């Protein structure tokens, strides 16, 4: 009869190395630490918001190896060797905003702003996913990100424009 491996003690620290916004991070964490807590509590990257904590609202969305990921739904220790980009990582070296962020500004696509980092990161990920810059396609792709303020029209328009700008800037393939 197979034996299950013994459970890891909750207070044991696990060492991981990863890249966060292009910077190497080496840390030791309790195995239960969520990625959102690593970002916000340990690294001070509070641009990633924490809403529902149950993988429903999308406010905590970041990129993990380029894919949109709800950081409240991932254990940090699963990410040894991964590359994580949070909203802070979108800013260019000269301080200018990412085209997706600029599009949100142009379309007034926020009110309280709580959902905005997650919406922007979800929009950025759509470029690599090949989501067309069309309202219906973008609305469907945003279905895991909730906004309680705006009614979504401005957000959808902003993501469409952000996708167009990203593709115009990197026609051969889109990176964050
Ligand atoms: S806080 Fe992660 S999906 Fe809501
Ligand atoms: S702008 Fe307030 S939740 Fe979206």
Query: For residues 3 and 40, which has the higher predicted lDDT (pLDDT)?
Result: 40
Q: Is 152 in the pocket of ligand 2 (CB under 6 A)?
A: no
pLDDT tens-place string over residues 116-154: 999 999 999 999 999 999 999 999 999 999 999 999 999
How far, in Å, CA of 129 to CA of 66, rounded?
A: 10
Nearest CA to ligand 1 atom 3: 55
To the nearest whole percent, how much of the chain has pLDDT over 70?
91
Number of domains in the chain: 2
Q: Is 145 in the pocket of ligand 2 (CB under 6 A)?
A: no
Laid out side by side, the sheet with 83-85 consists of 23-29, 14-20, 83-85, 61-64, 67-70
How confident is the model at residue 170, as a pLDDT? 84
Q: Are residues 106 and 80 in the same domain?
A: no
Residue 175 located in a structural domain = no
Query: For residues 74 and 3, which has the higher predicted lDDT (pLDDT)?
Result: 74
Q: Are residues 21 and 73 in the same domain?
A: yes
**Distance (Å) from CA 111 to ligand 2 centroid:** 5
Mean of pLDDT values over 27-40: 97
Domain, as residue range, for 54: 14-90
Instruction: Bin 124: left if φ > 0, else alpha if -120 < ψ < 50, else beta.
Output: alpha
Q: Are residues 18 and 85 in the same domain?
A: yes
Report the CATH number that the domain containing residue 81 is assigned in CATH: 3.10.20.30
pLDDT tens-place string over residues 69-116: 999 999 999 999 999 999 999 999 999 999 999 999 999 999 999 999
Give me the chain's average pLDDT, please: 94
Q: Is 148 in the pocket of ligand 2 (CB under 6 A)?
A: yes
Distance of CA 39 to the CA centre of its chain: 11
Out of 42, 62, 90, a domain closes at: 90
How confident is the model at residue 176, as a pLDDT? 60
């Amino acid at each position: 009869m197979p034996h299950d491996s013994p459970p890891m003690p909750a207070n044991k620290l696990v060492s991981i190395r990863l890249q966060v916004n292009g910077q190497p991070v080496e840390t030791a964490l309790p195995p239960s630490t969520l990625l959102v807590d690593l970002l916000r509590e340990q690294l001070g990257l509070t641009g990633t918001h924490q809403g529902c904590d149950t993988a429903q609202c999308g406010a905590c969305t970041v990129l993990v190896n380029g894919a949109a990921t709800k950081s409240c739904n991932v254990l940090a220790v699963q990410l040894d060797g991964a590359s994580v980009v949070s909203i802070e990582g979108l800013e260019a070296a000269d301080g200018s905003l990412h085209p997706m962020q600029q599009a949100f500004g142009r379309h007034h696509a926020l009110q309280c702003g709580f959902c905005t980092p997650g919406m922007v990161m979800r929009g950025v990920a759509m470029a690599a996913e090949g989501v067309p810059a069309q309202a219906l396609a973008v609305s469907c792709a945003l279905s895991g990100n909730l906004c309680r303020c705006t009614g979504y029209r401005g957000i959808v328009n902003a993501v469409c424009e952000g996708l167009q700008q990203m593709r115009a800037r990197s026609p051969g393939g889109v990176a964050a």
